[in-house]
């Protein structure tokens, strides 16, 4: 008998797989239910190291399908939710916003509604909704996003996440649903689908392909190691206050071009290439529509109230990340071709 039955939505994705791994290994008294639709970014190969653990199960399901959610609740008596399932790539939201509305907004409301119906108010439940700093909009050269910063989303992706955040808060205030929320900065680390900046650049450098950089590359992002983000989710889930929101940042601001050039130097060293060889691959491309200039998180609340801080510097985390991708080229090749998702889709059925 498990003390908790925690549903992790999007558990086969980038951040989700790190959360599932951490919880499955750390809490033997919890059953961790990985609920994932297995879209292009969901890959059960990410979790092959825990898929035989007795406290881990996979349930293929879609948060946009209410019947799937009800089925997993009834099969495993879901006691808590860590909600990570989302469409997350800004470029994809610009070319096809409706998918983001359906998954990020309607899917989240489906989860909230089923939790409201299934959970009694006397029990100790948690609905932890994981969101993004992009809901706050764009910063100038100064200032940081705080939990009290007004929402000002600029892309269909961030608008859909802002809407889901508002619904989570509404279910807390209207129905008393026991919610917690976190908004994080850009994540990086192992098992990241290679459409995002860092894994894309690593893969292209390895294969000597062009390194596309938007505009002049001066957009600034705050980078958070995904392992530290999983630690933060663990901390908020167990220690955070019901109804509260926590910003999670890496305290690492880099312009895109500085980051790409740093990656080039690091990769040249690891691949025994001549200095500057990879930097020649950089190509400036037309800027993304509505490209936010700067994101930066004020993580002082989670540090002061919950005693969480990043465990590594960006340089340390990036070095470990590059090493992982170089050691797992087979994973990268399989993910980009889609082989693993097709294989596991046949293998795992709920």
Active site residue 157: yes
Whether the CB-CB separation of 39 and 11 falls below 8 Å is answered with no
Active-site annotation holder among 68, 133, 165, 298: 133
How many Å apart are CA 49 and CA 36, to the nearest integer?
17
Considering the candidates 51, 62, 87, 134, report the single residue annotated as catalytic: 134
Please give the distance of CA 289 from its chain centroid, rounded to a whole number: 22
The reply to whether 327 belongs to the active site is: no
Question: In 3D, which of 127, 47, 72 has the Cα closest to residue 341?
Answer: 47
Smallest Cα–Cα separation from 328: which of 106, 45, 26? 45
CA distances, 157 to each of 42, 120, 281 (Å): 18, 33, 29
Residue 323 designated active-site: no
Chain position carrying tokens 């309607």: 106
**Residue 189 CB contacts under 8 Å (≥ 6 apart), including other chains:** 14, 18, 225, 226, 227, 317, 320, 321, 324
Pick the catalytic residue from 30, 56, 136, 157.
Answer: 157
CA–CA dist 14, 161 (Å, integer)? 17
Please state, in angstroms and rounded to a whole number, the distance separating the CA atoms of residues 289 and 91.
9
**Number of continuous H segments (helices) and E segments (strands) in the chain:** 13, 12
* Active site residues per annotation: 133-134, 157
């Amino acid at each position: 008998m498990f003390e908790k039955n925690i549903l992790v939505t999007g558990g086969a994705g980038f951040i989700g797989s790190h959360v599932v791994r951490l919880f499955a290994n750390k809490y033997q008294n919890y059953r961790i239910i990985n609920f994932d639709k297995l879209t292009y970014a969901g890959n059960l190969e990410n979790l092959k190291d825990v898929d035989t653990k007795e406290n881990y199960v996979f349930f293929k399901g879609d948060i946009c399908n209410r019947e799937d959610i009800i089925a997993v609740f009834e099969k495993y008596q879901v006691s808590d939710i860590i909600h990570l399932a989302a469409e997350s790539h800004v470029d994809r939201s610009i070319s096809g916003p409706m998918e983001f509305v359906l998954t990020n907004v309607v899917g989240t409301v489906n989860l909230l509604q089923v939790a409201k119906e299934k959970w009694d108010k006397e029990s100790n439940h948690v609905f932890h909704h994981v969101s993004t700093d992009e809901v706050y909009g764009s910063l100038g050269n100064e200032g940081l996003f705080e939990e009290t910063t007004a929402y000002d989303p600029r892309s269909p992706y961030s608008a859909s996440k802002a809407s889901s955040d508002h619904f989570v808060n509404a279910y807390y205030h209207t129905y008393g649903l026991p919610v917690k929320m976190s908004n994080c900065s850009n994540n990086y680390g192992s098992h990241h689908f290679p459409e995002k900046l860092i894994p894309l650049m690593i893969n292209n450098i390895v294969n000597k392909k062009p390194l596309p950089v938007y505009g002049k590359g001066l957009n600034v992002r705050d980078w958070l190691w995904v392992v530290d983000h999983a630690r933060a989710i663990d901390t908020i889930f167990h220690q955070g206050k019901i109804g509260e929101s926590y910003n999670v940042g890496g305290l690492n601001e880099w312009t895109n071009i500085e980051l790409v050039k740093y990656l080039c130097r690091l990769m040249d060293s690891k691949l025994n290439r001549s200095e500057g060889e990879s930097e020649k691959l950089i190509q400036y491309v037309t800027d993304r529509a509505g490209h936010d200039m700067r994101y930066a998180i004020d993580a002082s609340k989670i540090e002061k109230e919950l005693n969480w801080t990043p465990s590594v510097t960006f340089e340390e985390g990036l070095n470990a990340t590059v090493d992982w991708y170089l050691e797992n080229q087979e994973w990268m090749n399989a993910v980009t071709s889609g082989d693993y998702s097709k294989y596991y889709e046949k293998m795992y059925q709920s």
